[in-house]
């Protein structure tokens, strides 16, 4: 089935999210060390068809690329080389961590789990992907 993958890239960890087959809802998938993301996605692509990658694009409040943008650009180049036929879309990732924390609180997640950055990263990836899906409609 066709899947869109949301990616919240970070220098240490990267959160991943995936959409449902109808491409309506985003769900948190996994948080992995950033060095292992391409390998994980290649294994994932062996069983699912990835139609698009949506990568969170770091912007400052004024809309200019953030300090981490060059790192994300390097990751995008690696992603393009590993998946040459799959389009890559950029999605504004401002406030996704704040929204992820809010979603965890609203969902009743215990404080100990909310402090786990792995949880925040994959929920942030889901927010990035959901924002893209909503905008695409």
Alpha helical stretches, state H, the chain: 37-45, 69-82, 96-106, 111-114, 117-136
Domains of the chain plus CATH, in order, are 2-136 (3.30.420.140)
Mean of all residue pLDDT scores within the chain = 87
Bridge partners of 20? none
pLDDT digits (tens, 9 = 90+) for 63-101: 888 899 999 999 999 999 999 999 999 998 876 665 655
Residue 1 binned pLDDT confidence (cut-offs 50, 70, 90): confident
pTM of the model: 0.88
Exposed/middle/buried for residue 28 (C-beta within 10 Å: 0-12, 13-18, 19+): buried
pLDDT of residue 100: 59
Residue 65 DSSP class: B
- Higher pLDDT pick, 31 / 102: 31
Question: How many residues in the chain?
Answer: 137
Residue 137 binned pLDDT confidence (cut-offs 50, 70, 90): confident
Q: Cα(52)–Cα(23) distance, rounded to whole angstroms?
A: 11
């Amino acid at each position: 089935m066709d899947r869109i993958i949301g990616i919240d890239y970070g220098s240490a960890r990267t959160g991943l999210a995936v959409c449902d087959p109808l491409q309506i809802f985003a769900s948190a998938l996994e948080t992995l060390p950033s060095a292992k993301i391409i390998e994980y996605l290649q294994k994932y692509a062996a069983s699912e068809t990835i139609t698009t990658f949506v990568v969170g694009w770091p912007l400052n409040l004024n809309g200019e690329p953030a300090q981490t943008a060059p790192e994300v650009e390097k990751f995008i180049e690696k992603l393009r080389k590993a998946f040459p036929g799959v389009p890559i879309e950029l999605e504004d990732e401002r406030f996704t961590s704040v929204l992820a924390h809010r979603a965890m609180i609203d969902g009743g997640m215990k404080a100990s789990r909310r402090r786990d950055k792995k949880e925040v990263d994959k929920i942030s990836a889901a927010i990035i992907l959901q924002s893209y899906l909503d905008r695409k409609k």
